[in-house]
Structure 1
Amino acid sequence: MSDMIKQMSSLKDKIPPNNTEAEQAVLGAILLDSDAIGTVLQYIRAESFYTIAHQKIFQAVVDLYNGGHRVDLLVISEHLRQEGLLDSVGGTAYIASLTDTVPSTANVAYYAKIVLDAAIRRSLLKVSHQIYADVFDQTVAYSSVLEQAQKNIFDLTDAGQSATFHTPKDLILEAIEIIEARAKHRDEFSGIPSGFEFLDSLTSGFQNSELIIIGARPSIGKTALALTIADYISVTKKIPVAFFSLEMSNMQLIHRLFSLESRVSSSKIRSGNLQTADFQKLQDAAGRLYDAPLYIVDMPNMKLLDLRAMARQLCLQEGVKIIFIDYLGLISSENNAIPRHERFAEISQSLKSLARELNIPVIALSQVGRDAEGTAPTLANLRESGAIEQDADVVMFLHREKRESPDTELIVAKQRNGPVATVNLEFISECTRFVSKTRNE
């Protein structure tokens, strides 16, 4: 530990990453060719420069450019003079000398990328120092340190992505190719398929950045439906899935998955009353599940910050493409003393933000109020529905007229970018799984 502290202390004496020559080349290229400004702005901003004088000069360029003014040596110098900054950047003579540092204006994007690289490294250094400080601050919870650290790293990743634009001419050929490919593969969808054909035809699969809510009264089969879908995605489609279980243990979930995959009754698995044929089915199921990219996170009373941190880790390290959360009401807020509706609002907003940040679908299960007993649930029946309904892109409800009946409706009550409808399913209670019914309308 002492060696690490010494190493961190020694870093303070080092000059942060920078490239003065690249900064000068960017500014010089702009002075020689004002059309280069648009290219440079795709990569960097004034704060991307390390040298303060270069920051001031570039900000003057941006101010003039945004104001529709000509950008050249005289105009920049006059602008800086009016701002009282000309002497601090080295005067007109220094600005003029920048043109001598440019090998070729055609390489301005390359120079800008060098400046961006150094800027991101400095930002990473700043983040690491902040983490170092937070670690020793006993007033900051470790979960908050992890959450903020991961968020900052993700922000830096985004900073490395340059903005760009396209005209229809640039996009039409690619769009036609995509449309033709979809026509050739009609059974495939733009999103992640659920395994239920009619549902996928409505949604085109679960879409990236979307928050999907599946609501139902207790004991209707929320977890069974989520596991049926997660099993299809991970085992059949080999798409990495994260399943956050706040209600059931990982062993309970794997027993359910065994039953779901093997078609062996879950009661037989629990009691051990198995025949030779059952063992063979379970062995075959184990083979299919063994290498499935399904990541089960079993943590009761999981805090929202911990969930977000684990989700980021799974996406970065395991390439997870979709997240299931069972269920929303069991997520602990950092402040459980706040009113219930405010806590739900915080959680739903945070999950939507997570879906957008990771650019993957997030499916959260939710309890429907008892007032929906005996009737098909609606958006109004979602507990604290105001926040959930607003944040969710898709809201679906499981409904059975009679608990003992296998006939189940999956009601798509809200879909921000598509139609609403009812999907007819059948619940196979023996192995706690859902299958499509032949009739859907």
Structure 2
Amino acid sequence: MDSVLKDTVPPHNDEAERATLGAMLLNWGSVSSIATLLRAEHFYSQQNQVIFRAMMRLFSKGETCDTLSLVEELSKTGQLEQSGGAAYIASLTDVVPTAANIEYYAKIVFERATRRSLIDVSQQIKASAFDETRDSKLILEEAEKKIFDLADNEQTTVVHSMGDIVPLTVDMIEKNYKSKNTFTGVPSGFSKLDTMTSGFQKAELIIIGARPSMGKTALALNMMEHIAVTKKIPCGFFSLEMSHVQIGQRLLSQNARIAGTKLRTGMLKLDDFQKLNDAAGRCYDAPLYIVDTPNMQLIDLRAMARRMRTNQKVEVIFIDYIGLIATENSAAPVYEQVSEISKSLKSLARELNIPIVALCQVSRDAEGNEPSLNQLRGSGSIEQDADVVMFIHRERKKQEDGEAEPVQDAKIIVAKQRNGPIGDVPLLFLSSITRFENKANEDE
């Protein structure tokens, strides 16, 4: 019989709820320590919810609260009977050994509320799963979002004094001085770019745009190699165009500095094998996680990104590229689909609190010229949603046979940066190994 009751009665702790309210009445000054943690709906008892709301009304008006003033407040709103009456309110202080433990009581109330929310979400997921009119992928994405929100639900606000802030700030400055690390975000590996951006910042959407064959994927792989292989920072990569084997080959080519054509044809020299083995050793344990599903649905990408963040603890995600992401509303005009994708990626970056770097093509009229913001495919929404927009530009020269061949000089054009400067970053491009590198200053 007890097990049946346990399964049917939602988790709650009536004593902790009454102790929390009683501690608030005994020591009204302690309310501020739990006001950012608890809400009325966290209480299981309806009468406790009514009492807590009344106490929060008094708190928001800057008034004190004791048993008499609380009864008066509830009488004014006609909720005294609904709260259990004056006798119940008076009894609340009887269950409190000391008001000093109010945070402990409040955390018990919050923990039980979290369990009840988990049960509610589980029931919603179950009901959705039985609804055969709904798409299973959409149900799964909604379920993961709800679970993720629950896991990230505990928000507390802390007021920091200068006595707390100054020692921490000085300590951070000393650490930066010793490590010579001038970047607050995830470093791209390109020194001037990182100086301009301070690295890729949390919750930001970064767009890298270029015409085809300008090196969008190569630049992204260069950045990921620095992040995951050199810095050992967990990194996720969604490749909608290349397979994981092709990506692995490109990474080994860049790291070993062996021409990609040699790896594809197998025309290697003996010393190339040593370079390849050394590169493989450096890359083997790198925390780089690749998803290479073609025509990936936006809903699936969001779900997989959440899993990467939770399971692999990724600190940055790259997407190659926006134009290959499929939306649920495939019949909508392209600009509407691009708008949906860009807004979704920005909200995902904020939700996961990591930078998301997405590659994007620019329109055909940018061929041979430096790209600009209005040449982004679906530029209106992408330009608006992105925190940083950068373009790759390389001049092309004509060979004798008439074919265009990129020259070695290249640059990144930072055309938009919400929280920093814009400008050009000069680079070198090594076409044989599809690798971008920092370009030395003239005086170097």
TM range (shorter): over 0.9
Contact 2:208 2:357 in 1 (8 A): yes
1:164 aligns with 2:166: no
- Report the counterpart of residue 412 of structure 1 in structure 2: 414
**Deviation, structure 1 residue 187:** 3.7
Match of 2:436 among 429, 434, 437: 434
- Report the counterpart of residue 48 of structure 1 in structure 2: 42
1:313 aligns with 2:315: no
Whole-angstrom distance in 2 between the partners of 1:266 and 1:419: 36
Contact 1:423 1:440 in 2 (8 A): no
Contact 1:241 1:320 in 2 (8 A): yes
Mean alpha-carbon deviation: is it higher for 387-396 or for 283-292? 283-292
Residue type of the alignment partner of 2:370:
A
**Deviation, structure 1 residue 280:** 2.2
Contact 2:236 2:290 in 1 (8 A): yes
- SS state of the match for residue 296, structure 2? coil
- SS state of the match for residue 69, structure 1? coil
**Aligned 1:79-158 pairs, distance under 5 A:** 79-158=73-152
**Deviation, structure 1 residue 188:** 4.4
- SS state of the match for residue 152, structure 1? helix
State the percentage of identical aligned residues: 55
- SS state of the match for residue 418, structure 1? coil
**Deviation, structure 1 residue 166:** 1.9
Whole-angstrom distance in 1 between the partners of 2:5 and 2:434: 57
Whole-angstrom distance in 2 between the partners of 1:182 and 1:280: 36
- SS state of the match for residue 99, structure 1? helix
Contact 2:392 2:411 in 1 (8 A): yes
**Deviation, structure 1 residue 267:** 0.8
**Deviation, structure 1 residue 158:** 2.4
Residue type of the alignment partner of 2:425:
V
1:3-24 CA deviation, whole Å, 9 max, x = no partner?
A: xxxxxxx799421111111100
- SS state of the match for residue 157, structure 2? coil
**Aligned 1:13-92 pairs, distance under 5 A:** 13-92=7-86
- Report the counterpart of residue 265 of structure 1 in structure 2: 259
**Deviation, structure 1 residue 88:** 2.0
- Report the counterpart of residue 202 of structure 1 in structure 2: 196
Whole-angstrom distance in 2 between the partners of 1:259 and 1:188: 29
- Report the counterpart of residue 317 of structure 2 in structure 1: 323
Cα 1:440–1:239 shift into 2, 3 Å: farther
Contact 1:198 1:440 in 2 (8 A): no
1:367 aligns with 2:369: no
- SS state of the match for residue 406, structure 2? coil
Whole-angstrom distance in 1 between the partners of 2:389 and 2:81: 61
Cα 1:275–1:138 shift into 2, 3 Å: same
1:247-273 CA deviation, whole Å, 9 max, x = no partner?
A: 111111111112111111111111122
- SS state of the match for residue 288, structure 1? helix
- SS state of the match for residue 243, structure 1? strand
Whole-angstrom distance in 2 between the partners of 1:312 and 1:11: 36
Whole-angstrom distance in 2 between the partners of 1:122 and 1:382: 46
1:151-182 CA deviation, whole Å, 9 max, x = no partner?
A: 11221122223222223333122112212322
Residue type of the alignment partner of 2:409:
D
**Deviation, structure 1 residue 185:** 2.5
- Report the counterpart of residue 401 of structure 2 in structure 1: none
- Report the counterpart of residue 227 of structure 2 in structure 1: 233
Contact 2:222 2:436 in 1 (8 A): yes
Residue type of the alignment partner of 1:152:
K
1:45-65 CA deviation, whole Å, 9 max, x = no partner?
A: 100001111001001111121
Match of 2:186 among 177, 180, 192: 192
Whole-angstrom distance in 1 between the partners of 2:441 and 2:330: 45
Cα 1:11–1:335 shift into 2, 3 Å: farther
- Report the counterpart of residue 268 of structure 2 in structure 1: 274
Contact 1:260 1:433 in 2 (8 A): yes
Whole-angstrom distance in 1 between the partners of 2:150 and 2:420: 34
- SS state of the match for residue 82, structure 2? helix
Residue type of the alignment partner of 1:407:
D
Whole-angstrom distance in 2 between the partners of 1:251 and 1:166: 50
Residue type of the alignment partner of 2:136:
Y
1:257-316 CA deviation, whole Å, 9 max, x = no partner?
A: 121111111111111222222222222222122111110100111111111110110111
1:31-80 CA deviation, whole Å, 9 max, x = no partner?
A: 11211221121211100001111001001111121123332222221222
Q: CA RMSD in A?
A: 1.7
For structure 1, the residue ranges without an aligned partner over 5 or more in a row are: 1-9
Mean alpha-carbon deviation: is it higher for 268-277 or for 246-255? 268-277
1:385 aligns with 2:379: yes
**Aligned 1:277-292 pairs, distance under 5 A:** 277-292=271-286
Whole-angstrom distance in 1 between the partners of 2:44 and 2:157: 21
- SS state of the match for residue 159, structure 1? coil
Contact 2:316 2:355 in 1 (8 A): yes
Whole-angstrom distance in 1 between the partners of 2:208 and 2:111: 43
Cα 1:12–1:325 shift into 2, 3 Å: farther
1:204-238 CA deviation, whole Å, 9 max, x = no partner?
A: 11111111100001110000000011011111111
Contact 2:22 2:95 in 1 (8 A): yes
Whole-angstrom distance in 2 between the partners of 1:266 and 1:42: 57
- Report the counterpart of residue 7 of structure 1 in structure 2: none
- SS state of the match for residue 8, structure 2? coil
Contact 1:245 1:299 in 2 (8 A): yes
Aligned residues: 433
Whole-angstrom distance in 1 between the partners of 2:440 and 2:362: 27
